[in-house]
Structure formats: structure tokens, C-alpha cells
Amino acid sequence: MKKIIQLICLLIPIILLQLKVKAQGIKSGSIYTITSKASNKVLNVSNASMANGGNVDIWTDTKSDAERWLVTSVGIDQYTFTNVASGKMLHIANTNPANSVNVNQNNNTIDNTVKWTIPGPVNGFYTIQSSANTGFVLDVNSGGTTDGTNVQLWTGNSGDAQKWSFQLQTVQDAAPTAIIADQVFEAWKVKYNIVNDKGFWGTAEMMEIALDAYEVTAYAKYRDMYDQMYNNFITNHGSDWMSNDYNDDIAWITISCVRSYLLTGNATHLNKGKEQFDKMFARANTHQYGGDGLVWKQGQAGTNSCINGPAMVCCCYLAQATGDNSYYTKAIAIYNWSKLYLFNENTGKVNDNYNGTVGTWSSTYNQGTYLGASVMLYNYTKDPSYLTIANRIAAYTKNDMYQSGVMNNEEGGNDLPGFKGIFMRYARRYMVDCNRADYIPWLHLNAKVAYNDRNTQTIITTQWATRTSEANTCTAFSASTPVSLMINCPKSLILIKDAYRTIESENMDYLKGVVAEPCPEGTYNLGGIQNGYYSAYYNVEFGTKGSASAEFRLSSVASGGTIEIRLGGLTGTLIGTATVTGTGSWSTYATITCKVSNVKGLQNIYLIYKGTGYVANVNHFKFYEDQTTTVQEMGVRGNVKAYPTPTAAQLTVDFGDKEANQITIVDIQGRVLYQDKGNFAGAKTLDISNLNSGVYFLTIYLDGSMPVIKKIVKQYN
């Protein structure tokens, strides 16, 4: 009986606490917006800051997570408020409450600076008192009603500026997601009537964002949008663009034309792009400084990275589109000349211009194009020096220009606000082609903050860490950069695909011609597939046992088409061919299989579709492992090793004859659990005893070579 009484005594405070919470109408563990009675605006972390000390103000409700708060009961009438976007708590900036003490966000200080007392509501409104001194309450400065009005402590006076209501919310996804990317794109497209934009190079850049969106999603609406914009561009600027003296402008529209051909097969676009690029190149290649740098503007001395970067990229695309490798020769010549005058290959810093002296300003535009050119030339030549420079350009942009933070500049003038969209395009290519998943968390941070800084029209400016006002007056070009960010940022933290698990066909990295459509079996399939179209899947891990067969889930009204499986490119090694069998209708699906060569390690897979008419609708595919071998280690490249695995505590990484600059360990959800940067050679022992048992991926970033990915198994201690 005594124990029962003791138990009841323990339970009574808990029951009373629950009753108290219920009586107040605030449910602990739930997410709320908190609205000021004076203005009907919500409690907000200014500019969606992720930092300690981020200011708190009021703002129009834009559905941003920076305006949502997780409310947690920590005692009778006492709560903490955790901002959903930042994970930081509503906090008073001084341990001694007083009038005008600022309110901000901070990590949990486990004291009364992050605790708030909320008495029962009066007519549906609450006062929110500082638990450090309940005489001081959450107050909107001077009863202000405009966006950005500061929130502070003030002596309680029962005014409307100190009354708040709570609106229960549901959990929502943070950016980036495919749905959010589509929403941001559509809002921008409609708001600015992008299809009918009449500019030149800015329009060309926005045309490329439509191509990016098609390449990433395979949605026909983006492909069709580009076609509309191309036709309008011809209407607005004619079919010969040489009256424009700015050679970089010509480079950008020709890039979009050639890319359109590579993605859709539209020969009209290729022919126009090639014609105009060749004319521009002939007039710009004046050998002004004893080399192959191109002149930025006709009739003006000097040269700029802003023409040489996109010119190299366009040359690479033209070589791919035409098979004429002399374009690669041109790109290499410009690249080598640029190393003398325009960028520092040792640091990765791309300078702005050369006119006898170097203009040292750097921008995301130039960092992006030189990053793209470095990757494309590495892919063509396999010369590791290009990859080394690409690594340095990417690192300089992330670490030196932005300190791994949110990109929040380049807002001035007509051209500058559109620059970051260019960087994002080539950052995606770098991450995918070079398997650099370590850059994804940085870009996820940018996407998350930028999206939380949107206005009610889902418009975001080029200053991604600055809230977009409701009276936004930024240009379509400025608003295009967050669209490029959302489209081009990988949605997953993991780039590697397991060859032996189902790969959804619409999760391709590159494509030609195919269209993503709703599939009767759920999710999407790739349809509209005709002869010569393809879909490519990069960073597919086959392990060391290797593959034996492949299977495809598809539908087709006729038999006889084929799916060629090639490594590394359209003309890469053929490892297998699947023959399409008619299923009777497009809505009836069947599984077909084929033998494949014993492929091992990390590979880029191209599925090339052959046949007459529409070949097939492909839902998904996978490979089957060769059961005749027993080797367990994944991702072997050279003599780099990691052992023992499984292991309970110590893992040795043997770099063999290689040198490395970074080691990371991620779990199967892509969360980075271990990271070490430095100059590594020989061998290094890692202590992973703190990891839970399970499967992890070890990534070793080698100097001048592709990263090595290894699967490791952690045992119980």
C-alpha cells in the first residue's frame, strides 16, 4: 500500500501538468505559428537565420519554417519554443530581463533565458512571459505592424503588442525536394511571364534553367517551354545575332541551343547554335595577348573570364553534339591560355579580366563556367590535372568566397543578380560526374534558407539569406538564381546508387528525348522513348562480386526494340542488350531480363534505346550480382584499402601509393558521421567505436583522382 501511495504522489504532478497544458489549449510537442494580435503577423527568425543570435521579428505568414515553432512543455505553464527551420530556441539576449532586452534565437542554454511562462488565454490570446522574470513579456516594438518590426522584452501592459495567438501546424518538407523545386519554378515562370521575356543574355540563361529542369526531371513541360522561348528569341532578336557586340552574350544563347539538341535531338537548334558560335569565335579570337583568349566586346581592348569560360563550355558541348573534336582542341587552347592570365590553378580562384593587368574580382559566374569546363575536359581527356583544378575551383567557391555559408551577395546591377544560377548548373555536373557528395550539405543549407526566405508568392531573390519582401521589385533574372538552386541541387545526400536494388527510371542524371509520365504501377516511368534516346545513371555501385544479369520492368505495344546497357557514355563498352517484348498495351507491364558482363566497382550506366516508333515505357530496372565470387569489399580502386571490416572499433585506411585530402563516413541515410581533412598518405587508423552497429560508406577523396567509396560494417563493441 505504501508503494501505491508513493506512486500516486509521483503521478499527481504529471497528471496536473497534462491537465494544465490541455486547459491552455497548447499541446506540447506540436508545431505552431505564433501571431501578434496587433498586426496579424507571425513570430519569425529574421532572414531565416541558422545562427545563434539570429534576430526575431514579426513578418507576413509565408508558410516558412522560420515562422514555425515547436512548443515543448518544461513545467506547469512553462515552455520552450524551438524554431523549426534552425533548431534553435527563442531566447532573451540578457540574463537580466529589462525593457528593450532583445529576443533572438540560441542553442539550448538550459536556463530561464530560453524558458517562457504562458498563463491561460484571455479571449483566445496569450501573453508570453520570460521565465527569468515574469513581469517582462514578449513584445512587438512600439506596437509596430510592418514586416521586420523587432520583438523584445517589455514590462507587461496588456496591450495588443503583447498578445499572441497560437495556430497549430503540420510538419512540412524542407527544401530541396522535387515538389518544392517545381513550385518555385512555376511561381517564377508565372510571376515574370518568363516565356515571353525579351532580353538577350539574361533570357538565354533563363532558357538554360528550363533545360536544367528538363534534364533533372524529364518533364515535357520544361522541354516545351524551352521551345517556346527559343522561337520567341528568334522573333525578338532575329536569326543572326552578330549585331550584338558582346561575345559572351552570343556564347550563352549558343550554349542553350546546343544543349537543347543534346537533350532533345532538335537539329534546328544545333545548326543555329553552331552557326552563331562559329561566327562569334572567329571575330573574338584575335590573339590579342599572344594566345587563344577571346575578346569580351568587339572594339574594346582586354579580355574577360565571362567570355572565355562559356566559350570553353560551348566548345565541349559542340564536340559532343557534332563529333568534331576540333572544338575540344579550341577549349583546351583557351583553358591553357586562361591559366596564364585569368585563373590561379593552384588556388582555384578565377579572376574577372585581363587588360595588361589582372582584375582580381571573382564571381560565381566565372567560378561556375571554369568549374564546368574543367569537369568536361577531364571527362574527355581523363587528364587528372583537370580534376585537380576542378576540385580547387569548387573548394575556393565554397570555402574562400562563402565560408561554407549561404550565398547572399551579387545583388547589384542588371547582370550580377543572375550569376549564381550559372554556378549551380556546373556545381551539379561537378557533384554528379565526380561523385562529390561532400558538397551537397552546403547546397542543401543554401536551398533550405533560400526557400524559407520566400514571400507569399513563392518568389526568392538572388540574396538567398535575405527575406524577400511582399513588395518585391527584383528582376526575373535575379529571381532565377534560386530557381536554378532548387532545380540543380541534388535532392538526396547520397549520389551512389546500388546496382542490385531497384533504380527508378526517372531518377536519371542525364537524358535525351525521354519523358517522365505517371505510371499505372505507381510513381513514374520514362515514356516517349524513340530510337537513339537514352537515360544515364551515374555512380552505380556494382561491388566486387560483379554483375551477371539485368532486369527491366516495362510496357510496349510491340516487340523487337532493344535497350543497350553501356558503361561511361553513348559509345562506351556494351555490357548487355535487353530485347523488348510486347506486353499488349502501354498500361500492361512485364519484366524482361538479359545477361550482362561481369561489371565491378563504381560505374556510370547509359541505357540506350533502339527500335522503330515508340520503343517502350520503362518503370524501373536493377542488376543481379554474380554469385560465383565471394569478395565483399566495394569500390576498390588501385591499392587503396580499408580494413578490417566488419570491425568493432578500429578501422585502418591504407592509401597505398595514393595521397588523400579528406575522409568521410556516412550512414545509409546520407548523414555525415565522421569527417577529417588534411594531407593523408601511408595509413591512418580511425576510431569508429562510437558508431552504432550497421553498414556505412567510407569515402576517400584522392588528390588528382576520383574518390574511392567503400562499404564498411560496424559490429557491436
Is 480 a domain residue?
A: yes
DSSP string, 35-95: EETTTS-EEEEGGG--STT-BEEEE-----GGG-EEEEEEETTEEEEEETTT--EEEESSS
**Better-scored residue on pLDDT, 698 or 98:** 98
**Mean pLDDT calculated for residue range 10-34:** 65
Is 630 a domain residue?
A: no
pLDDT digits 0-9 by tens, 130-153:
999 999 999 999 999 999 999 999
Mark 47-69 as b/e (b = at least 16 C-beta within 10 Å).
Answer: bbbbeeebbbbbbbbbebbbbbb
Give the whole-angstrom CA distance, residue 346 versus residue 340: 12
State the cell numbers at 475.
528582376
**Better-scored residue on pLDDT, 685 or 252:** 252
186 & 315 share domain: yes
* Angle separating helix axes 178-192 and 201-217, nearest 10 degrees: 150
544: pLDDT strictly greater than 80: yes
The CATH number linked to 668 is 2.60.40.3080
Count of the separate structural domains present in the chain: 4
Contact of 710 with 697, CB cutoff 8 Å:
yes
Is 632 a domain residue?
A: no
655 & 710 share domain: yes
200: pLDDT strictly greater than 80: yes
Is 124 a domain residue?
A: yes
703: pLDDT strictly greater than 70: yes
677: pLDDT strictly greater than 90: no
pLDDT digits 0-9 by tens, 458-500:
999 999 999 999 998 999 999 999 999 999 999 999 999 999 9
**Better-scored residue on pLDDT, 182 or 683:** 182
Other CB atoms within 10 A of residue 17 CB: 17
14: pLDDT strictly greater than 70: no
pLDDT digits 0-9 by tens, 52-65:
999 999 999 999 99
246: pLDDT strictly greater than 90: yes
Task: Give the CA diameter of the chain.
Answer: 100
Domain housing 114:
23-169
Is 197 a domain residue?
A: yes
pLDDT digits 0-9 by tens, 602-652:
999 999 999 999 999 999 999 999 876 333 343 444 578 888 888 888 899
The CATH number linked to 585 is 2.60.120.260
pLDDT band at 24 (very low <50, low <70, confident <90, very high): low
Among residues 488, 520, 537, which one ends one of the domains? 488
The CATH number linked to 282 is 1.50.10.20
pLDDT of amino acid 561: 97
**Mean pLDDT calculated for residue range 692-709:** 82
Give the whole-angstrom CA distance, residue 382 versus residue 411: 37
Strand partners, 713: 695
pLDDT band at 666 (very low <50, low <70, confident <90, very high): confident
pLDDT of amino acid 669: 61
Give the whole-angstrom CA distance, residue 463 versus residue 484: 13
Report percent pLDDT > 90 for the chain. 82
606 & 542 share domain: yes
pLDDT of amino acid 105: 98
Is 15 a domain residue?
A: no
Report percent pLDDT > 70 for the chain. 94
Q: Nearest 5°: phi and psi at 116?
A: -135, 135
474 & 512 share domain: no
201 & 341 share domain: yes
CA distances from 35 to 104, 142, 636 (A): 17, 16, 56
pLDDT of amino acid 167: 98
Is 544 a domain residue?
A: yes
Other CB atoms within 10 A of residue 18 CB: 12
8: pLDDT strictly greater than 70: no
686 & 601 share domain: no
419 & 369 share domain: yes
pLDDT of amino acid 40: 98
pLDDT band at 717 (very low <50, low <70, confident <90, very high): low
pLDDT of amino acid 640: 86
Taking the CA atoms of 96, 97, 101 and 102 in sequence, report the sign of the dihedral they define.
positive
pLDDT band at 18 (very low <50, low <70, confident <90, very high): very low
Q: Which residues contact 247 (CB under 8 A, 6 or more apart)?
A: 280, 283, 284, 294, 295, 296, 297, 298, 307, 311
Among residues 110, 139, 169, which one ends one of the domains? 169
Strand partners, 618: 526, 554
295 & 387 share domain: yes
Is 11 a domain residue?
A: no
Mark 583-602 as b/e (b = at least 16 C-beta within 10 Å).
Answer: beebeebeebebebeebbbb
Mean pLDDT of the chain: 93
Give the whole-angstrom CA distance, residue 80 versus residue 320: 58
119: pLDDT strictly greater than 80: yes
203 & 283 share domain: yes
314 & 386 share domain: yes
